[in-house]
Structure formats: structure tokens, C-alpha cells
Amino acid sequence: MPDITITLLEGQKFGAYCAMPAAGHGPGLVVIQEIFGVNANMRKICDDFAAQGYIAVCPDLFWRQETGVQLDDKKPEDMKRAMELLGGLDVEAAVRDLLSTLGSIRQMKGCSGKVGAVGYCLGGKLAYLMATRSDVDASVSYYGVELDKYLDEVHDIRLPLLLHIGAEDPYVPPATREKILHRVMRNPAITAEVYEGASHAFARIGGQNYNQEAANLANLRTAEFLAETLQS
């Protein structure tokens, strides 16, 4: 179950998983879930970021539909439920939840004041929207979906954004990928990396599309990017 509580301006509350660095202080990270909720994979990602010195918080974005969702991408029934939850997600409300999470981390004891965002799949889209709609200090989007629907917001990005895109991602076909790259390359705050031979969710350890070479490279680039933008 989530181990901290985030409070919206309206007074509503929702849960989040929080992993603290051993030192008890450092920059913050909003870790944004895939469609499977704050499951073991997302918690492991938070733990790994905490080991790198970050206060890593993964909020439950499905709380308006069902609290405490933890689904397994390898189970057909869980995949079906994940798609139902995705269909019922209010993206604008999810962004508001992330903004509240950002504010909560900045107020946490031990937070340096700098906070980034890292998201995967659905979370990759939301990390992009955090870059366009908030003052988050840096953002990383892993194989974000539907970015092409929000390209009008590219000009709103002023702080660093790193995009990881699989060249074989069926949710981002070549024409869509080229459209995205064409637009984001105009903004010097954005870096886009394309991984040949990598499909969607190429960095999800244990997933059917896991690509160790691409994942290792993307994770290395992420570590370097976050160290430069949040720890310097």
C-alpha cells in the first residue's frame, strides 16, 4: 500500500509510494506510473532512484477509480483491467495530482528544493505534460504515448526534457515519430533519443519487450541527465 499521503488544494487525499535515500536528503523525483498502477515494478524503480540519492515518490493516479492498484503486465486479466483504468483516466486530473505531488515533495524534510519527473508509457506522456505545464526542474519521458496530440505545447517547455523513444514502438509508428522529432528538435531544452530495435516498454525489466542494451543506455543517459540538472 502507499506509504505517504498527498493532499490536493481541494482537500482530497490520495496515496503514494515513497523511497528515501540513505542520506535522508537529496533532490526529489516524481516517478510516474505505467498503466499497471504503483506495482512492484514502479516501486523497484523508486528504490533504485533512492539508491542514486533521490527522494522518489510514485503517486497513485488511479485513485479516483480504484485505490492501491498493483497489476501484473504478464497476466491477461490484469492487462484487461489496466486498459479499463487507462480508459477511465482523466488526464487533466492526473496532471493536477502530479502538480500536488511536486509541491508536496518540495516541502518534504530533506528535499534540496530541486524536483524532477520521470515517467513510463502513460507516465511518459504525463512527464512530457509536466514539462509543458509545471516548473518541474527536469523531466524524463520513457516511450511516452500520444505525445503527438500535445505538440502545440512544445513551445511551453523551458526546463530540460529528455525523451526516450523506441524505433519499433507500435504506439509511435514512424510517421508519428518523425512528426514528434521534427517539432521537439526546435526547442533547445529538449533532447530526444531514439533506440533502434527497441519496442514499447523496452526498459521494463521482465516485460516481453525488455531490451537490455537499449534499457541500459537509456537508464545511463537518464542518470547523467538527472545528475546534471538536479544534483549540480
Residues recognised as catalytic: 169, 200
CA distance 137 to 210: 29
Q: Between 91-106 and 122-133, two packed helices, what is the crossing angle to 10 degrees?
A: 70
Q: Round the CA-based radius of gyration of the chain to a whole number and report it.
A: 16
3 state SS of 192: strand
C-alpha cell at 33: 506510473
| CA 58 distance to own-chain centroid | 9
- What's the farthest any 2 CA atoms get from each other in the chain? 46
Q: CB within 8 A of 87, min separation 6: which ones?
A: none
CA distance 126 to 109: 26
Residues in the chain: 232
| Under 8 Å between Cβ of 58 and 17 | yes
In 20-166, the DSSP E strands lie at 26-32, 55-59, 111-120, 138-142, 161-166
